[in-house]
Chain A
Amino acid sequence: MGSVSGMLRALASGSKHLAVKRFTLRYPEQKLKFVGDGYQFDPKEGVGIAGYRGRHILYHDKCTGCQLCSIACEGIAEAISMVKVDKQYKQNKKGIMPQIDYGKCVFCGLCVDACPFYALFMTDDYELAAYTKEHLIYTPDQLAVKPKYQGTYEIKIDELGAYHDE
């Protein structure tokens, strides 16, 4: 192919995109929609349930303080440590629950796979930025709070190209 026609074709190919909608997601005004409520695990079946692997959620009424999540994390990120909780639960005699350091966590979700009591799942919340390292450590009480993440944008594909739209 001649160099002039090659250049013109390249220019034309790029210029077409002036008429195409912008692909970029305008975060944080626009946020992505995820499938489900986050990654969960069914220990009876031994298989996970698809979902985004963001910050964890801990159900205090189910956690027995068995430390399996902490043991699973030992060789991975060492992000989980067991700490004393003030409130007493009858299934949790030792009164210990996981505390997660998000400065170390790699969000692999193998702690969720390790939990046999449906107590530790993951959520859609990925906005975990903090000003200090100490604020990245989430205590059991903080982990019990359900996050308020609302993403509504998805990739739409039509004759105009692909773009993010509600």
Chain B
Amino acid sequence: MGLEIDRERIPGFDVEGKDADGMDKGILTLSVGPQHPGSGHFRLIVKVDGDIIVEALPDPGYVHRGEEKMCEYRNYIQNIPHLERPMIADSCGILYPYVLAVEEICNIPVPERAKYIRVIMAELNRCIFELYWLGIYGIFLGHSTMFMWPMADRELLIDLAEMASGARVTHAYFVPGGVRNDVPDAFPEKAKRHLLYFRNRLKEYKDIFYDNPLFQARTVGVGILRREDAINLGATGPVLRASGVEHDIRKVEPYDVYDELDFKVITMNEGDSFARAYVPWLEMYESVEIALQALERMPSGPVRTKLGPNPKGAVGEVFKRVEAARGELAYYLVSDGNPKPYRVKLSVPSFREIPVMAHLLKGAKLADMPSIYWSMNYWPVEADR
């Protein structure tokens, strides 16, 4: 036949010998992302042999904003709005350790009622994030009902968050010394109504999604992360707990009033994509439970300690971590006695899932990539900060 393809000129398609990276012949290099569909603002360089992924190289950094450096030029209060930006769907979760750290370094007392309000808002935000993530997971596995339902039910909780804080996302609600404003009088009653209805709705997710044979066929036994690998690779959050490790900062290092509330740490032993999708669903029940308990026990009183215009930190350093919706989120804050922090370091859960992702994708089928990638709870904007 006359048609000959000049294979030398097709990048990544060398049939003879080895390519520049020393990979065998016939290995095809694909770039998943950094365009938005499929991966978020994140590139995954995947090398496939036929249908099997032989190597996956995560390439983060497309949405780096320099949050840590920005912190050094703003005072402790001005840092609040921009620190929420890496993770707008869980804005209370990402702000929580910062607020705790500033309180410790500036020695600011927190009223008891504010602690309860913070716990309620953090749990609402955990559900808001997990529903958002679940919707995306559903649509990427081709289940569009599972996109619509969480997005609609999320609205119930966003309504509550808006009632308390005044904004639907990026609440900017936590401040050093408590919360910005007290919740309205009608909030506890409305919150109970919405949370109880939401808990009933969660049961329906099981029927249409988790018990669905089509969903199970794509996730059960796919991307199994063993317990020791999860620990050695530094996985965190639902990914770690889906591999059978009972580790939750809310239990290990309780902050605010989590030690007074009664809740379980959800674990599963399978460690596959199904378990990683199922653990957040079970955790949403616990979040509702925590929020209801906190609403019940919330005392009356002030919600915010009055601060001077520019609170100054003592000379020193502080490390605070909380359990955000995606896992352990920590701030390391150094102060040199000025109203502005000397150094702020964020340790975000998404970044810690990158080695796990590379480990799990190796040897998986290319068609299983979405189900593994999205089960990681990975958020590129947060990972790049």
Q: Report A's interface with B, CB cutoff 8 A.
A: 1, 3, 6-7, 9-10, 12-14, 23-24, 34-36, 38-39, 45-53, 72, 74-77, 106-110, 113-114, 122, 155, 157, 162
Interface string of B222-240 (1 = CB under 8 A from A): 0000000000000000000
Q: Which residues of B from 59 to 108 have beta carbons under 8 Å from A?
A: 73-75, 77-82
Instruction: Give chain A nearest CB distance to B344 CB in angstroms.
Output: 14
Q: Are B155 and A155 in contact, with the CB atoms below 8 A?
A: yes
Q: Counting CB contacts under 8 A, is B49 at the interface? A: no
Distance in angstroms between the alpha carbons of A162 and B182 in the assembled complex: 27
Chain B residue contacts of A122, Cβ below 8 A? 166
Q: Which residues of B from 140 to 188 have beta carbons under 8 Å from A?
A: 145, 152, 155-156, 159, 162-167, 170, 172, 180-184, 186
Known: A6-B213, A53-B167, A122-B166. A157 touches B194 (CB 8 A): yes
Chain B residue contacts of A113, Cβ below 8 A? 77, 180
Q: Are A109 and B213 in contact, with the CB atoms below 8 A?
A: no
Q: Are A162 and B197 in contact, with the CB atoms below 8 A?
A: yes
**Closest 8 A-B residue pairs measured CB to CB?**
A48-B181, A46-B306, A75-B78, A13-B207, A3-B213, A75-B74, A53-B166, A108-B81
Known: A1-B211, A110-B172, A157-B194. A35 touches B163 (CB 8 A): yes
In addition to A7-B213, A53-B167, 8 A-B residue pairs with Cβ atoms within 8 Å of each other are: A1-B213, A6-B216, A10-B208, A10-B211, A34-B162, A50-B182, A50-B184, A75-B78
Q: Report B's interface with A, CB cutoff 8 A.
A: 73-75, 77-82, 145, 152, 155-156, 159, 162-167, 170, 172, 180-184, 186, 193-194, 197, 204, 207-209, 211-214, 216, 302-307, 309
Nearest to B217 among chain A residues (CB) is A3
Q: Are B163 and A50 in contact, with the CB atoms below 8 A?
A: yes
Interface CB pairs A-B, < 8 A, 10: A6-B213, A7-B212, A13-B208, A14-B208, A45-B306, A46-B305, A47-B182, A77-B81, A110-B78, A155-B159
Chain B residue contacts of A34, Cβ below 8 A? 162
Instruction: Give chain A nearest CB distance to B367 CB in angstroms.
Output: 19
Chain A residue contacts of B193, Cβ below 8 A? 157
Chain A residue contacts of B309, Cβ below 8 A? 114
Nearest to A39 among chain B residues (CB) is B166
Chain A residue contacts of B214, Cβ below 8 A? 7
Chain A residue contacts of B213, Cβ below 8 A? 1, 3, 6-7
Chain B residue contacts of A38, Cβ below 8 A? 166
Chain A residue contacts of B181, Cβ below 8 A? 39, 47-50
Q: Are B81 and A76 in contact, with the CB atoms below 8 A?
A: yes
Q: Are B307 and A46 in contact, with the CB atoms below 8 A?
A: yes
Known: A47-B303, A75-B74. A9 touches B207 (CB 8 A): yes
Q: Are B172 and A109 in contact, with the CB atoms below 8 A?
A: yes
Known: A23-B155, A108-B80, A155-B194. A46 touches B304 (CB 8 A): yes
Known: A47-B302, A52-B162, A108-B172. A9 touches B194 (CB 8 A): no
Chain B residue contacts of A114, Cβ below 8 A? 309
Nearest to A42 among chain B residues (CB) is B181
Distance in angstroms between the alpha carbons of A162 and B157 in the assembled complex: 12
Nearest to B177 among chain A residues (CB) is A46
Q: Are A50 and B307 in contact, with the CB atoms below 8 A?
A: no
Distance in angstroms between the alpha carbons of A124 and B89 in the assembled complex: 22
Q: Are A72 and B156 in contact, with the CB atoms below 8 A?
A: no
Instruction: Give chain B nearest CB distance to A104 CB in angstroms.
Output: 12
Instruction: Give chain A nearest CB distance to B193 CB in angstroms.
Output: 6
Distance in angstroms between the alpha carbons of A46 and B77 in the assembled complex: 14
Chain A residue contacts of B204, Cβ below 8 A? 13
Distance in angstroms between the alpha carbons of A106 and B88 in the assembled complex: 12
Nearest to B197 among chain A residues (CB) is A157
Chain A residue contacts of B211, Cβ below 8 A? 1, 6, 9-10
Q: Are B208 and A48 in contact, with the CB atoms below 8 A?
A: no
Distance in angstroms between the alpha carbons of A110 and B74 in the assembled complex: 13
Q: Are A10 and B183 in contact, with the CB atoms below 8 A?
A: no
Distance in angstroms between the alpha carbons of A35 and B187 in the assembled complex: 10
When the two chains form the complex, which single residue of A36, A51, A110 contacts B81, counting CB atoms closer than 8 Å?
A: A110
Distance in angstroms between the alpha carbons of A105 and B165 in the assembled complex: 17
Instruction: Give chain A nearest CB distance to B207 CB in angstroms.
Output: 4
Chain B residue contacts of A3, Cβ below 8 A? 213
Q: Are A6 and B184 in contact, with the CB atoms below 8 A?
A: no
Distance in angstroms between the alpha carbons of A74 and B164 in the assembled complex: 26
Distance in angstroms between the alpha carbons of A149 and B303 in the assembled complex: 29
Chain A residue contacts of B156, Cβ below 8 A? 155, 162
Nearest to B77 among chain A residues (CB) is A110
Distance in angstroms between the alpha carbons of A74 and B81 in the assembled complex: 12
Chain B residue contacts of A106, Cβ below 8 A? 81, 170
